């Protein structure tokens, strides 16, 4: 039976095994505000230690928040990633494999539960993958997905909405809504995503010279990939250019986050809200086999994302939660914060870390899965052949079933995941492999069908998504049947 109606209740203040009781309880928020900056790597934010990128708004928010050091995205893909956050389940449960598929209506979304509990629910979206046709917006009573057909300088038309327009729309809506009602507000910014085309002064902010007209375009990204693969000595300069433009996009969106937070503060909303800033996934630069893209690999490049949680009044502001968490944990955590019950999910509440409790200190491990390439292979679910991750605080075990490859990385000495140490630590590799295999085989996905709307498919293509295309190499469909 599908869960439908939540039951309001108090925050959890129970004991674990009867031995102790939570020492602290955060204020119960009236409002829930989730800000998602699409494609934002954690290591490209000042609050996460980046010495170059200027992110004053996010850094100031982090100073008033609990910052999670290690939030791992369930899947490096926009629709699947956000669906994971808002259902509390991995793709192999909620069923969305990629951006051109549909969210099964039998999924119970966070917006549905909060709507039924009396919250105004509003979504302001930056790009088509999350638009109404996808089914992602179920439960939102207000959906603003008015995208613009933008003709870029590289002559490609792209359907999205710039970050300043998203912020304008949110602030305008706040001035018209009933201020007495609690709200769940979801704000999605897309401008960090490729192609990297931030406006000035951000376009040249991290460049020694103003980049040329084509820099950051899809064509430029593709040329850079080819240069890296061909070991062209000029590749480094092109990579540096792309990094600078990506970072310019981060600072551009940070400025809009600042406008949004200022608007929430001046309207008296901020201190009555829990504000969660995060991302659906990161971006591969040039360190691993996936170059300047995301979806195929599950290294930290594409799955380590920021998670910053500001509680009412800035409670516990400046604290750092060092335990491992997953993006699927957002769903149960929000429900526990506001005292509303929900269905059983794969996610686990991180409220214990927010409270500063020593127990629980975080997950012992998290799993993640890729969304490319899309190979129906008769295995437990459509994306079974994609790359998979079993990650602990100190180890990352990555498996690529279609290539019959796996690797183990010792994160304490090799944070860049460049040296496979499985041969030196066979017991660790075998244990993580067994756990990952059991997780893979537990897949029970809801059905998810590709969209048949040709307009939506065409607009997704303008954003660089070629989801659903068959692999060019038939050998990619091989799967290690022992796993």
Residue 401: the pLDDT is 84
CA 289 to chain centroid: 21
Phi, psi of 455 (to 5 degrees): -65, -45
Q: Tell me, letter by letter, the H, E, C secondary structure of the chain.
A: CCCCCCCECCCCCCEECCCEECCCCCCCCCEEEEEEECCCCHHHCHHHCCCCCCCHHHHHHHHCCEEEEEEECCCCCHHHHHHHHHHCCCHHHHCCCCCCECCCCCCCCHHHHHHHCCCEEEEECCEHHHCHHHCCCCCCCEEECCCEEEECCCCCEEEECCHHHHHHHHHHHHCCCCCCCCEEEEEEECCCCCCCCCCCCCCCCCCCCCCCCCCCCHHHHHHHHHHHHCCCCCHHHHHHHHHHHHHHHHHHHHHHHHHHHHHHHHCCCHHHEEEEEECCCCCECCCCCCCCECCCCCCHHHHEEEEEEECHHHCCCCCEEEEEEEHHHHHHHHHHHHCECCCCCCCCCCHHHHHCCCCCCCECCEEEECCCCCCCCCCCCCCCCCCEEEECCCEEEEEEHHHCEEEEEECCCCCCCCCCCCCCCHHHHHHHHHHHHHHHHCCCCCCCCECCCHHHHHHHHHCCCCCCCCCCCHHHHCCCCCC
What residues pair up with 124 in beta bridges, in sequence order? 144, 187
Query: 360 preceded by cis ω (within 30°)?
Result: yes
Quote the tokens at residue 335.
């429900």
Tell me the CA distances in angstroms from 476 to 175, 373, 399, 403, 404, one per residue in order. 52, 8, 14, 7, 10
For residue 286, pLDDT over 90 is answered with no
Residue environment code for 303-313, b if the CB has 16+ CB neighbours within 10 A, otherwise e = bbbbbbbbbbe
Residue 380: the pLDDT is 58
Per cent of the chain over pLDDT 90 is 67
Query: 158 preceded by cis ω (within 30°)?
Result: no
Average pLDDT value for residue range 313-329: 93
For residue 12, pLDDT over 60 is answered with no
What residues pair up with 33 in beta bridges, in sequence order? 185, 275
pLDDT tens for each residue of 356-407:
665 556 899 999 999 987 666 555 577 788 999 999 999 999 999 888 899 9
Residue 146: the pLDDT is 84
Helix axes 218-229, 235-266, angle to 10 degrees: 140
Diameter of the chain measured on Cα atoms: 65
Measured CA to CA, the distance from residue 191 to residue 150 in angstroms comes to: 13
Tell me whether residue 256 is exposed, middle or buried, using C-beta atoms within 10 angstroms of its C-beta: 0 to 12, 13 to 18, 19 or more.
buried
By mean pLDDT, which of 12-26, 190-204, 426-440 is the weakest?
Answer: 12-26
For residue 474, pLDDT over 80 is answered with no
CB of 348 within 8 A of CB of 66? no
pLDDT tens for each residue of 94-126:
999 877 788 999 999 999 999 999 999 999 999
CB of 157 within 8 A of CB of 218? no
Tell me the CA distances in angstroms from 408 to 52, 108, 372, 383, 420, one per residue in order. 30, 35, 21, 22, 5
pLDDT tens for each residue of 173-214:
999 999 999 999 999 999 999 989 899 999 999 987 766 878
pTM attached to this predicted model: 0.88
By mean pLDDT, which of 242-256, 342-356, 438-452 is the weakest?
Answer: 438-452
Quote the tokens at residue 454.
């040709």
Which of 205, 201, 257, 204 lies closest to 59, judged by CA? 257
CB of 483 within 8 A of CB of 440? yes
For residue 273, pLDDT over 90 is answered with yes
Domains and CATH numbers, the chain: 28-364 (3.40.720.10), 368-477 (3.30.1120.10)
By DSSP bridging, strand 320-326 and strand 66-72 are parallel
For residue 79, pLDDT over 60 is answered with yes
Measured CA to CA, the distance from residue 195 to residue 245 in angstroms comes to: 9
């Amino acid at each position: 039976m599908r869960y439908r109606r939540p039951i309001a209740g108090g925050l959890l203040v129970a004991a674990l095994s009867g031995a102790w009781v939570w020492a602290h309880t955060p204020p119960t928020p009236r409002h829930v505000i989730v800000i998602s900056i699409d494609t934002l790597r954690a290591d490209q934010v000042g609050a996460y230690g980046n010495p170059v990128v200027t992110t004053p708004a996010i850094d100031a928010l982090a100073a008033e928040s609990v910052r999670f050091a290690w939030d791992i995205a369930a899947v490096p893909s926009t629709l699947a990633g956000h669906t994971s956050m808002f259902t509390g389940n991995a793709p192999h449960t909620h069923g969305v494999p990629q951006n051109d598929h549909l969210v099964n209506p039998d999924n119970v979304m966070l917006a549905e539960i909060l709507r039924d509990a009396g919250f105004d629910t509003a979504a302001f979206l930056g790009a088509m993958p999350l638009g109404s046709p996808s089914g992602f917006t179920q439960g939102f009573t207000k959906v603003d997905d008015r995208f613009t057909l933008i003709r870029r300088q590289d002559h490609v038309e792209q359907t999205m909405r710039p970050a300043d327009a998203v912020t304008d729309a949110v602030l305008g809506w706040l001035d018209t809504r009933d201020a007495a009602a609690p709200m769940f507000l979801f704000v999605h910014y897309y401008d960090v995503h490729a192609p990297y085309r931030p406006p000035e002064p951000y376009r040249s902010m991290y460049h020694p010279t103003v980049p040329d007209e084509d820099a950051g375009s899809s064509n430029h990204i593709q040329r850079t990939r080819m240069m890296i693969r061909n070991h062209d000595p000029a590749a480094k300069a092109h990579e540096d250019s792309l990094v600078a433009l990506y970072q310019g996009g981060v600072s551009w969106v940070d400025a809009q986050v600042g406008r949004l937070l200022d608007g929430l503060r001046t309207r008296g909303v901020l201190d009555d809200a829990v504000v969660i800033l995060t991302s659906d996934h990161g971006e591969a630069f040039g360190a691993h086999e996936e170059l300047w893209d995301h979806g195929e690999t599950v290294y930290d490049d594409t799955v380590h994302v920021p998670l910053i949680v500001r509680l009412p009044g800035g409670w516990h502001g400046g604290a750092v939660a060092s335990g491992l968490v997953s993006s699927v944990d957002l769903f149960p955590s929000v429900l526990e914060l506001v005292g509303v019950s929900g269905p059983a999910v794969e996610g686990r509440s991180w409220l214990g870390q927010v409270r500063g409790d020593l127990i629980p200190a975080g997950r012992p491990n998290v799993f993640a899965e890729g969304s490319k390439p899309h190979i129906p292979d008769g295995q437990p679910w459509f994306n079974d052949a994609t790359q998979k991750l079993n990650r602990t605080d100190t180890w990352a075990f990555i498996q690529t079933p279609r290539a019959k490859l796996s690797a183990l990385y010792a994160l304490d000495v090799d944070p860049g995941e460049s040296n496979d140490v499985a041969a030196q630590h066979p017991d660790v590799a075998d244990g993580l492999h067994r756990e990952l295999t059991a997780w893979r085989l537990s897949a029970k996905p809801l059905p998810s069908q590709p969209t048949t709307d040709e307009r939506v498919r065409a607009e997704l293509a303008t954003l660089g998504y070629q989801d659903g295309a068959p692999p060019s190499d038939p050998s990619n469909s091989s799967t290690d049947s022992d796993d």
